Amino acid sequence: MVDTTPADTTPVGTEADDSARPRPRRARAARLALLVAAFVCAACGLVYELSLVTLGSYLLGNTAAQASITLSVMVCAMGVGALAAKPLREHAAVAFVAVELALAAIGGFSVLLLYAAYAWLDLYMAALIVVSIVIGILVGAEIPLLMELLQRIRRQEASGAVADLFAADYVGALLGGLAFPFVLLPIFGQIRGSLIVGVVNALAGLTVVFVLFWRDVRPVTRWLCGVGSVLVCSLLVAGYVGADRFEATAQQQLYAYPIVLREQTRYQHIVITESVSLRKPPEVRLYLNGDLQFTSADEYRYHESLVHPVLSGSRRNVLIIGGGDGLALREVLKYPDVERVTLVELDPEMIRLARTDPRLTRLNEHAFDDPRVNVVNADAFSWLRTSSGGFDAEIVDLPDPDETAVAKLYTKEFYSLAAHALAPGGRMVVQSGSPYFAPRSFWCIEATIRAADLAVRPYHVNVPSFGDWGYVLAARGDEPELRLDTPEPLRSLNRATLDAAAVFPPDRGPRDEKVSTLMHPVLVELEQQEWN
């Protein structure tokens, strides 16, 4: 607690009564405590920003656009907040705790509020902008108020005070930036992680007033600050306790069937739903980050069309990129002459579920138990760079490229690596989206594969859950032939349907599109434009 007197505001360079100043040792401790508070508040502010960016990427995809909107709006609002704080400097201690309590409440509940806006009101973007503006204004008001409080403890040159305060602020931002992806998100999840940070934020602001500037605040104001802090922290704790129930209710609003499994992994949000019916088998659906990956009612149409045309040639050594649910793997293992299958999947939790969840094992027929299967948990791009190759067939079964994180796996560079890993005479197939609903995206993928010096044969089939769905078959040299060489008849694919699959209507036929590259992933932009 610092005794601040009129002598504390003496301009730099003038002499004041030494008895009126805080003792040097006491002043140093108070300055250090205030800088620590600035450090903590900066960490909390960055966590709020990262939470909004991450939530937007989960719900809407297009990480680059979401981050740009959120951060640019927030930084602009920080400037407004810094200006708005100027009239509050006379009552800096009280203003600071009010700002921190407001920031704790709004920032702590921000993810919960935005999720509710998305699930029930369909007002996510408007809510995101409003929340970003409010949080930005409050974060921007912190620095001027902290600067005023720092100078009250001991006057110093403005440049020195700015250096001390911004050093604490920037290092605190580093702590928040590291804590969010490595501690808060994987351990507590987005909703609870933000609520925890809100409590820390409120306590940091309260500590500044009640420990360092007790005598600057009137008793009634101290009482109000204490009550406000207890109220805010109580609400945040109540939100933490009810977070699971809220998330389950909000998520269920987004899905047609009851949710039977939901799991947030390091890489994605996994949801499995299952219908309830007494007259027919339950329908199982898998969603990754809100996007439907398959439904048990017709997934065989998708996977038969994906796998069997590419395996009509040599197939001793097969590579599957993605396909962590094991359904493409199930189709590959139907061939007795397949000797080895390497499946590269980034998320080990997806593999664990595919091995153990009875709904998935029933569909993939326990494919991962086959001794011919080798699972590699790795980023496919990095893994291909070091792979020895020699694959007779490659199956690229990845989520749609509506997020920047997935976009690199739909680039010329990636397909060049995949082509290099093919054995002589080898073939590759890529799931390529819908040529009917997203024709520009489909033909962009086709053009990008061609740019990797591969000959291509696009084709499409009807999958009721997805509509018209397309694939690109590719090989070195001559254009690959669409044919079947299956050990047993298929449920949805035969010679006649395969011949029809290679025919496109005039309004959805081949078109010239830009090639998607690492430096210019145009496919993400096209996906967002066409599907939204």
* pLDDT for residue 145: 95
1.10.357, 1.10.287, 1.20.1250, 2.60.40: which CATH number matches 25-254? 1.20.1250
- SS3 label, residue 521: coil
251 is in an annotated binding site: no
Nearest to 135, CA basis, from 77, 79, 176: 77
* pLDDT for residue 9: 40
* pLDDT for residue 15: 36
* pLDDT for residue 10: 40
Within the chain, which residue ranges are assigned CATH 3.40.50.150?
A: 301-531
Strand order in the sheet with 284-288: 259-264, 269-274, 284-288, 291-295
190 is in an annotated binding site: no
Strands in 130-206 per DSSP E: none
CA end-to-end distance (rounded Å), the chain:
56
* pLDDT for residue 207: 86
**Amino acid identity of 14?**
T
* pLDDT for residue 280: 83
Cα four-point dihedral sign 151, 154, 160, 165: negative
Active site residue 291: no
Q: Cα–Cα–Cα angle for 137, 140, 144, nearest 5°? A: 130
Within the chain, which residue ranges are assigned CATH 1.20.1250?
A: 25-254
* pLDDT for residue 161: 86
Nearest to 443, CA basis, from 428, 460, 454, 458: 458
Q: Cα–Cα–Cα angle for 123, 125, 131, nearest 5°? A: 95
* pLDDT for residue 61: 67
Choose, from 216, 397, 400, 468, the residue flagged as catalytic. Answer: 397
100 is in an annotated binding site: no
Alpha-carbon distance of 181 to 152, in angstroms, equals 37
380 is in an annotated binding site: yes
264 is in an annotated binding site: no
2.60.120.20, 3.40.250.10, 3.40.50.150, 3.90.1150.10: which CATH number matches 301-531? 3.40.50.150
* pLDDT for residue 216: 77
Alpha-carbon distance of 409 to 516, in angstroms, equals 10
77 is in an annotated binding site: no
Nearest to 452, CA basis, from 483, 471, 430, 482: 430
- SS3 label, residue 126: helix
pLDDT mean by block of 10 residues, the chain; 532 residues = 41 38 68 93 96 85 76 96 94 93 97 94 92 97 94 85 92 95 90 96 87 82 90 97 93 92 89 89 92 95 98 96 98 98 97 98 98 98 95 96 84 97 97 94 96 97 95 96 94 94 92 92 78 62
